Amino acid sequence: MHAVMGKSNGKSEAENAGLDLEHELPPADGDERPSESASSGAAAGEVSGPAAELQKLKAERDSLLDRLARAQAEFENARRRAAKEQQEFRDYAAADAVKSLLPVIDSFERALQVKSGPGDFRSGVELIYKQLQDALAKLGVRAIPAKGEPFDPHVHEAIEMVETSDAADHEVLEELQRGYKLKDRLLRPAMVKVAKNP
């Protein structure tokens, strides 16, 4: 019955077999002709065609791998540069420079507490003190309020607890050393005396 069906469509079994083989072969092999003279010429073209295509694909692959390796190297170099710049920024950040100026402010404050001495000297110290405070304010440095404030362990460092009923419990009675913040970052806490109700 299969043979009858094969002949009923008008083709021989050999032709049907040829179509099946042609259909299963890769597209490059589809140009092959059954004649002997065409077969030998086509075979020579097919050997060079796929080989050339393979070489082209290998070259493209090598090029892409090379580009990938270069991109990875550039990324790694950029990452190292960024890490180095961040480390340098941390090493030389403004916070350290500002922190080194704080003892100067402490010295000015102590000099201003001295009542004796010529008036000109005092006014000069006051002027320098104001200029220094203005410079620090431009950098974002501000003093932490202490005296009369409730004790805050985040910004105050209690040096002494004083028993008294003249102030509210845990109220800062006296500021021994002023504390400072750089924007929202604590540079150093205020050293204070704190009230303790009996």
How much is the pLDDT for 25?
47
Domain that holds residue 33: 25-88
Residues 36 and 81 in one domain: yes
Considering the entire predicted model, what is its pTM?
0.49
User: Would residue 2 count as lying in a domain?
Assistant: no
User: Would residue 14 count as lying in a domain?
Assistant: no
Q: Which two tokens stand for residue 5?
A: 């069906």
Sign of dihedral through CA atoms 152, 155, 157, 162?
A: negative
Q: What is the pLDDT of residues 81-115, one digit of tens each?
A: 999 999 888 877 777 777 777 888 887 787 777 77
pLDDT over 80 (residue 143): yes
Distance CA 144, CA 76 (A): 43
Residues 125 and 49 in one domain: no
Residues 110 and 159 in one domain: yes
Compute how many other C-beta atoms are within 10 angstroms of the C-beta atom of residue 96. 11
How much is the pLDDT for 27?
52
CATH number for the domain harbouring residue 147: 2.30.22.10
pLDDT over 70 (residue 8): no
DSSP letter for each residue of the chain: -HHHHHHHTT--HHHHHHHHHHHHS-GGGGG--SSHHHHHHHHHHHHHHHHHHHHHHHHHHHHHHHHHHHHHHHHHHHHHHHHHHHHHHHHT-HHHHHHHHHHHHHHHHHHHH---S-HHHHHHHHHHHHHHHHHHHHTTEEEPP-TTSBP-TTTEEEEEEEE-SSS-TTBEEEEEE--EEETTEEEEPEEEEEEE--
User: Would residue 103 count as lying in a domain?
Assistant: yes
How much is the pLDDT for 47?
53
Residues 102 and 188 in one domain: yes
Distance CA 142, CA 144 (A): 7
Residues 68 and 98 in one domain: no
User: Would residue 16 count as lying in a domain?
Assistant: no
Number of domains the chain contains? 2
Q: Which residue has the tokens 């006051």?
A: 126
Q: What is the pLDDT of residues 183-198, one digit of tens each?
A: 899 999 999 999 999 8
**Which residues lie below 8 Å from residue 180, measured CB to CB, with a gap of 6+?**
98, 102, 136, 141, 142, 143, 144, 187, 188
Residues 32 and 75 in one domain: yes
How much is the pLDDT for 29?
47
User: Would residue 20 count as lying in a domain?
Assistant: no
